[in-house]
Structure 1
Amino acid sequence: MVAKFTLAGGTQQLSVCLAERLGGECVRLNSPVTAIRQGDDGVEVRTASESFTCKVVIVTCPPHMAAKLQYQPPLPAERQLLCQHMPVGHMIKFIVTYPTAFWREKGFSGEIVTRPSNNCPFSVTFDATSPSGSAALVGFIAGLQAYDWSSRKLEERRDAVVASLVRYLGPEASSFIHYVEKDWAQEAYSGGCPVNVMVPGMLTYFHPSLRRPFGRIHWAGTETATKWCGYMSGAIQSGHRVALEVLARLSPHKLSQEEKEAARGPDQPHARSDLWSHVICYTPFPVTLTLTVITLGATLLLVKPQLRSDLIGQMVAWLPKY
């Protein structure tokens, strides 16, 4: 079961309220950052028309977007690999509004989970009726289906969505008021939705670099969350975590001991390049010991009898000490 929460007035209020608390003069709109240059005394952040200096920088955009910035000095190799090998998903969100929530009247929840096909573009829908009672259904066209359907005309997607809703909820679904959609792949500063994902191998060896500060640069954003990664909850968690990191760096006296511990974050084992050392490091002891015995046993079968006898003798002498 997925818990769904709505915010009366829309979630954009979060950004608006934060901007008001900071003060309008502190927020720059239409000023995308192009370069970040670190020095001994601080950081210089450049846009197309302005330059700012500060003590630290927090980068919250998705990894594949952060990779497009110019860094001096260049990012560490691990961070570059993360940025280059964390593609973002493809998702189209649509909302269909109706005169009434007819699905509720018929005893339906409005939630549809289905396998997308040539006729049905979406994979899931939810009841998006507003707190004021405006009836609506929200749904998502995701993955390969989003890639396929994004090349078609809006009217074709709309008609396919409505026809599928009729199939599942009844003929009332055809009497909609309005259809609107958002293809995040067309957004210049996100490039997709809902979250960047790591290709095979990246999570195993390079995940710690996702949150590890680089000099005066700290990383946030929902991709760096330890819970609800990809969701707004994850974005908020990452903001709280990075705020504690920066305060611990600039004004540690303002933090409680508990906050200082939280700023350090969970212990992150060092990424290893060879598979065997990785297995030894991350595997529970009983499993590790079993793997070691199996490996040694296989090795003994391949050596000469005399050498095998000597090795067994050394192992027997070693075990009590262990």
Structure 2
Amino acid sequence: MRAAVVDVFGGPERVEVVRVPVPRPGPGQVRVRVRAAGVNPVDGAVRAGVFGGEGQRIGLGWDVAGEVDAIGADVVGRAVGERVVGLHYGAVKPLGTHAEYAVLDASALAAAPVSVDDPAAAVLPLSGLTAARAVDLLALPAGSSVLVTGAAGVVGGLAVQLAVRAGLVVTALAGAEDEAVVRALGATAFVPRGATPAEPVDGVLDAAVLGEAALELVRDGGVYVGLRPGAAPAARRRIRVLVQEVAADGAHLARLVELVDAGALVLRVSDTYPLAQAHLAHARLAKGGARGRVVLTAA
């Protein structure tokens, strides 16, 4: 089968599509025929060597949407041919989801949403679980004010939607050109990048990784939730500083799928590329400015 890998760290040109053996599922695992796979910022970081692994061949890709192709021992509740989505957690691994087949733990999978196609479904696992975990960590009562930075991005946009569903009053911080986008996602108020809210907020969900600048916008005794381990600002003024760490969680993913199928969670795709053009997908990711996820497809 074909798989996108990096043998030497660097830019998008280091992404290669090579031939490798088709993986076999072990006990508790499922093999998925990949129909679509998101290209996330973490993939760019892996490619650049941020997580180490020098000298190894590293497979790329965390998100997957596709069909169950084979089932390992001790797996229940999955059937060959079933459409699924899942998160293949891990930065340094020999094979990821940017491949024709991927093997995941059965516990990382959920039935795919029926209301969207495979590229859109592939947006959900990593970004959806990240946003949902961050909103959960806010742990604020309904009616509390929350600022979401990077609200026009994929994770930020999902966080806006989930925070609104949690009863929070959301202010979105994004580029001036994105006001209509974030308001359509449910934000009550808008702050253009570089400006600040008129009053401190009860909490910040810092999808843009602004760090100290975002912490300054939180009231005394409020909460700051970051998305990148190791990048959170130091706590002060009795502000709770928390950082979400995503995990493969099929049960939680299934609840997000229900929201998608209920029309309560919008998934955005910016560009699609066939697996053979994985390097171009990475170049699009590196260019920035996408208002949706870059996705690799099986074609």
Q: TM-score normalised to the size of structure 2?
A: 0.21
Q: Which has the greater radius of gyration?
A: 1
| Greater strand proportion | 2
- Taking CA–CA contacts closer than 8 Å with sequence separation of 6 or more, which of the two structures ends up with the larger relative contact order? 2
Q: TM-score normalised to the size of structure 1?
A: 0.20
